[in-house]
Amino acid sequence: MEFRSLVESRSSVRTYQKKPVEEEKLNYVLECARLAPSWANGQCWRFVVIRDPDVRKKVAATSLLNRWLKTAPVILVACADPKESGTRNGLHYFCVDVGIAFEHIVLAAADVGLGTCWLGAFDEKQVKTVLGIPKQIRVVALSPLGYPAKRTSLFGKIIKTIARSKRRKPLEDFVHYDHW
Ligand SMILES: Cc1cc2nc3c(=O)[nH]c(=O)nc-3n(C[C@H](O)[C@H](O)[C@H](O)COP(=O)(O)O)c2cc1C
């Protein structure tokens, strides 16, 4: 898809079809994450791909807000090994590295007709316990992956309204030229 159309077509999807995600599409989105830039090319990202319905249910249960997550055929858990990234000016770049790679996944998914939704509302400790994630690894984000349902659930519509998801600030609110 042409880049501008791709960016415009992406939106957070919270209602999914049961249809499984094809192996080739899953590999395509993961491959796009693999090509992301990172701090000193450290590639600190790690991804857990959850397809098992019982595991999906357990992970979804770690977030009151995002219980609907279990209905997606795949859950992606984006993690980082902070030792493979850096810190400068008090900023921990493992979040940036994983953020870039995860957004590659999000855009690649939209490119092949799959929905995603960045999720930050989860209990990291519980997610790590459910998935057996080692102590030194951080969980940065979760996302469902699957085919968007033809009709958005009422809950999905409510969240979009509360989050005012279509609203974006105009450029003049956040771009400064030459000086702040
Ligand atoms: C870091 C981050 C965390 C988010 N956490 C959640 C979340 O826990 N639950 C949820 O339903 N949406 C979550 N979202 C999705 C945002 O609400 C959504 O991106 C925003 O409303 C804009 O809507 P759009 O993605 O449809 O364009 C998160 C997005 C980001 C980038």
Domain ranges of the chain: 3-150
Q: What is the pLDDT of residues 50-66, one digit of tens each?
A: 999 999 999 999 998 89
Mutate to test the pocket of ligand 1, among 9, 10, 12 (most ligand atoms within 8 A of CB): 12
Task: Say whether pLDDT at 138 is over 90.
Answer: yes
Q: What is the per-residue pLDDT for 24?
A: 98
How confident is the model at residue 109, as a pLDDT? 98
Ligand 1, residues at Cβ distance < 6 Å: 11-12, 14, 65-66, 117-121, 159, 163, 165
Residues 76/70, Cβ–Cβ less than 8 Å: no
Please state which CATH number belongs to domain 3-150.
3.40.109.10
Check whether 141 has a pLDDT greater than 90.
yes
Q: Is pLDDT at 153 greater than 90 in this prediction?
A: no
pLDDT score at 163? 83
**pLDDT at position 156 over 90:** no
Question: Which protein residue has the closest C-alpha to ligand 1 atom 15?
Answer: 118
| CA dist., res. 177 & res. 174, Å (int) | 10
Q: What is the pLDDT of residue 64?
A: 87
**What is the number of the ligand 1 atom nearest to the C-alpha of 66?**
9
Per-residue pLDDT, averaged over 92-113, amounts to 98
What average pLDDT score do residues 65-88 get?
Answer: 96
What does the buried/exposed string (b/e) look like for 164-180 if buried means 16 or more CB atoms within 10 Å of the residue's CB? eeeeeeeeeeeeeeeee
Measure Cα distances from 64 to 12, 67, 122 in Å.
18, 6, 8
> How high does pLDDT run on average in the chain?
96
Tokens of 68: 């609907």
Best of 117, 138, 140, 168 for a ligand 1 pocket test (most atoms within 8 Å of beta carbon): 117
Q: What stretches of 21-173 show up as alpha helix (H) in DSSP?
A: 23-34, 53-60, 94-111, 124-131, 154-162
Indicate if the pLDDT at residue 137 is higher than 90. yes
| Predicted local distance difference test score (pLDDT) of residue 45 | 98
Tell which one of 105, 119, 139 to mutate to probe ligand 1, the residue whose CB is within 8 A of the most ligand atoms: 119
pTM: 0.96
Q: Which atom of ligand 1 is nearest to the CA of 63?
A: 8
CA of 178 to the centre of ligand 1 (A): 31
State yes or no: pLDDT of 159 exceeds 90: no
Percent of the chain topping pLDDT 70: 100
